[in-house]
Amino acid sequence: MTALAISSVLLAAWPAVLFLRNLRIFRPPAPRSRLVDDVAILIPARNEAANIAGAVEAALRNPEAEIIVLDDLSNDGTGEIVQEIAVREPRVRLLRGERLPSGWCGKNWGCAQLASAAARPLLLFVDADVRLAPNAAATVSHWLRQSGARLASGVPRQNLGTFSERLLIPLIHFVLLGFLPLQRMRHSRHPAYATGCGQLVIAEAEAYRAAGGHARIHNKIHDGLALPRIFREAG
């Protein structure tokens, strides 16, 4: 074998070995059922008319959760759809987003506004194409409290419309299990080992604000990576 061939085999074997190690500890938390009157489900939305009703209706199946949707200057009727739901569902609140400040990424600006509007002690950020199960908020909030963590993340169920989305989104699991050492990520306090999935993040509101929240990562594209790191940096 040439040196190049040996190197190729080793590079291919490393993700496979790490995948098998990670698979042993990559397990969903046990489902929980409880009233989640301490959770605010926060959904930033821009031109999500095709998705937003499904996202809000799914969130509403989490008993007593507050749902706040930020309409980020949509031009497809996203805000109007949410407002129609809010008329009949008092747990739903619509925010009209302000214009994007210079230097900010759009999603981070939306999430920052949502967090400012939320008064509950737990903030559950989800994308508009995510469909929460009826026990999702109870399950992730219980895991957060039991673990002693201040922030947690997961790979949620999404509404995937196009073929390319169905092809690419599952690669999140491949990257997570094949290239990231989960054991070290969970137990190390070093920011380099902190990561998450920006599609679903739950955080203690007090810790979120102490760490600087989305304002501190205002210019970062990958909020799922940047937000956990500032939590680690904040201790």
- Which tens digit of pLDDT belongs to each residue from 59-94? 999 999 999 999 999 999 999 999 999 999 999 999
What Å distances lie between residue 80 and 111, 127, 193, CA to CA?
20, 18, 41
- How far apart CA 156 and CA 159 sit, in angstroms, is 10
Residue 4 lies in a domain: no
pTM, rounded to two decimals: 0.86
Residue 171 resides in a domain: no
Q: What token pair was written down for 234?
A: 């904040």
What is the structure's pLDDT at 34?
86
Q: Is residue 85 part of a domain?
A: yes
Closest CA to 38 of 59, 67, 64: 64
- Within 10 angstroms of residue 38's Cβ, the number of other Cβ atoms is 16
Cβ pair 46, 74 in contact under 8 A: yes
* Domain total in the chain: 1
Residue 232 maps to a domain: no
What is the torsion angle, in degrees rounded to the nearest 10, for the CA atoms of residue 34, residue 81, residue 121 and residue 195?
Answer: 90
* CB atoms near residue 9 (< 10 Å): 11
Residue 45 lies inside a defined structural domain of this protein? yes
Q: Which residues of 81-116 are buried (b: 16+ CB within 10 A; e: fewer)?
A: bbeebbeeeebbbbbebeeeeeebbebbbbbbbbbe
18 band by pLDDT with thresholds 50, 70 and 90: confident
Is-contact 85 57, C-beta < 8 A?
A: yes
CATH code of the domain covering residue 138: 3.90.550.10
The domain of 136 spans 39-161+197-216
Tell me if 187 is assigned to some domain.
Answer: no
* Residue 215, helix vs strand vs coil: helix
Residue 39: which H helix or E strand, with range? strand 39-45
Percent of the chain with pLDDT over 70: 90
Which residues are bridge partners to 66 per DSSP?
A: 40
In-domain check, residue 78: yes
pLDDT at 158: 65
Q: Is residue 30 part of a domain?
A: no
